[in-house]
Chains A and B, each alone.
Chain A
Amino acid sequence: MSKIIILDYNLGNLFSVQHACTSLGLDAEISQNLADIKNAKALILPGVGAFNEAMNNLEKLNLIDPILEHVNAGKPLFGICLGLQLLFTESEEFGSRNGLNLIAGKVLKFPQMVGKNKLIVPQIGWNTIKSRKSGFKNTPLEGIKENEFAYFVHSYYVLPDNEEDFLAYTDYEGHLYCSAVIKNNIFATQFHPEKSGKEGLKIYKNWAEQNDLI
């Protein structure tokens, strides 16, 4: 039985997540099997695509309860990109849709304009991450420099209700938004650490070490 299960809900870049894990020697497997998920020591919730379709798929595959049970049992969960957004209360993508509600807050669409700048949406490319308050110590971002580059691909961003969940932020052409969250056993990033070069892999390694997965 694999220690880490990369949740396969028929969306997203599972393979690059697995490649990143493999390169670090982590015991990770892609699965949507309920028994695998139940026995997993940790879950990774990846994702590229639309919020609605993702929630629909999680529902169809009966994955919502197992994910909630996993988190409620205090086991680690790592969300990436859409996998971060799904953790929130609700999204305004295509009207309004409820998420997993593990982190209180909303998923919002990037504005079309910031001051005089027209925002290019989706944001596709590299941007920097900055710590929200007390730095990254004792989080999976430990050792990541202020203003380190990370790779982003998204049209929506998250807004946590609680300041304490807010770990990192990013400035997209003058629009500041939350790019990483941490809440007890949940850690999630808007960027793709598996596509963010050496520093990105360091985040996987930190997360694994801090959760005794390595």
Chain B
Amino acid sequence: MSYKRIIPRLDIKGPNLVKGIHLEGLRVLGKPEEFAKYYYKTGADELMLQDVVASLFERNSLDDIISKIAQEIFIPLTVGGGLRNIEDIQRVLRFGADKVAINTAAIKNPDFIKEAANKFGSSTIVVAIEAIKETDGKYLAYVDNGRDYTGVDVLDWAKKIEELGAGEIILTSVDKDGTGEGFNSELIKTIVDSVSIPVIAHGGAGKKEDVSQVIKNTNVHSVACASIFHYDFVSKNDSQSTANTEGNVEFLKTNRSFHNFETTTVSELKKELISNNIKCRF
């Protein structure tokens, strides 16, 4: 077993870090760069930034955030959201990203994966899959943060992604995202067993045990978590006047009940993994 990676995922809207449920209903949590620094210090293996509105409104406000983060943290940084062509990828790499995550553009034109992998190397290209379970039990890939139906079967798509030369897959269970109910091991195991590139599981972590569980159940290579880390940071930084006023800040100002989450830090989570005989960098 190789060393499992723990990847805090930061969803970005404008200048803010946000978090939703099922990728929707975004709450503003604070300044992404503050969270990023904290995760770097507490032992994150990588960070992932996702601009959650970019592909809807054709805007890319991430550059400034990427650049701030890349100057202060020295672990890999993956950036996704609204990357539509080679120039978009080149731009975020120039601002300091190490890898890019693509979804919408890849589904619309699968050859884009090949083109990008040839240009930047496979290991730079992560393809994001947003999976939703249909009533017939099949998983389909959605785009635009789980809003848009594509009809593409997740398993077929994962195999195709590997064939086209992507270096990794980040697999989000939209049904579980932001709920704290635990990961969708069924979905994750199916994909891990079907491809030979690394898979990052995302969506559903509500407590440390969920992470060790999904690794044990599926042997997934990496796990991305948002809420369990973010709510920990928010609760420890009470006077956080850091959030910019844009967006839904009510959550920060008033109601701080994270009832579905047993929050944790990256290092506490890694202790949990190690006590379960799961290898990780510590």
Contacts and interface: CB of A to CB of B under 8 A. Distances in A.
Interface of A: 13, 15-16, 19-20, 22-23, 48-50, 118, 120-127, 149, 151, 153-155, 172-173, 192, 194-198, 200-201
B122 A122 contact: yes
26 contacts: A15-B96, A16-B98, A19-B71, A19-B96, A20-B74, A22-B71, A23-B71, A23-B74, A48-B124, A50-B121, A120-B221, A122-B123, A125-B2, A125-B3, A125-B5, A125-B198, A125-B221, A125-B222, A127-B3, A149-B3, A149-B281, A192-B76, A195-B74, A195-B76, A196-B75, A198-B74
Interface of B: 2-3, 5, 40, 45, 70-72, 74-76, 93-96, 98, 120-124, 167-168, 196-198, 221-222, 281
A-B pairs, top 7 by smallest CB distance, nearest first, are A49-B121, A126-B281, A149-B281, A153-B123, A122-B123, A126-B3, A195-B76
Given A126-B5, A151-B75, A151-B76, A15 B70 contact: yes
Q: Which of B72, B75, B167 has the most C-beta atoms of chain A within 10 angstroms of its own C-beta?
A: B75
B2 A172 contact: yes
B16 to A, nearest CB: 24
B74 A197 contact: yes
B167 A124 contact: yes
Contacts of B96: 15-16, 19
Contacts of A50: 121
Nearest to B282: A149
A126 B167 CA distance: 16
Contacts of A153: 76, 123, 167
B10 to A, nearest CB: 17
B198 A16 contact: no
Contacts of B198: 120, 124-125
Given A125-B222, A195-B75, A197-B75, 18 more contacts: A13-B93, A19-B74, A20-B74, A50-B121, A120-B197, A121-B196, A122-B122, A122-B123, A122-B197, A126-B5, A151-B76, A173-B2, A192-B76, A194-B74, A195-B74, A196-B74, A196-B75, A201-B74
Contacts of A127: 2-3
A82 to B, nearest CB: 8
Contacts of B121: 48-50
A2 to B, nearest CB: 18
A132 to B, nearest CB: 21
B52 to A, nearest CB: 24
Nearest to B197: A120
Contacts of A118: 196
B66 to A, nearest CB: 10
B75 A48 contact: no
A151 B93 CA distance: 18
A200 B74 contact: yes
A124 B71 contact: no
Contacts of A123: 2
Q: Which of B120, B123, B197, B221 has the most C-beta atoms of chain A within 10 angstroms of its own C-beta?
A: B123
Contacts of A49: 120-121
A13 B246 CA distance: 33
Nearest to B199: A120
Given A23-B71, A195-B75, A124 B45 contact: no
B271 to A, nearest CB: 16
Contacts of B222: 125
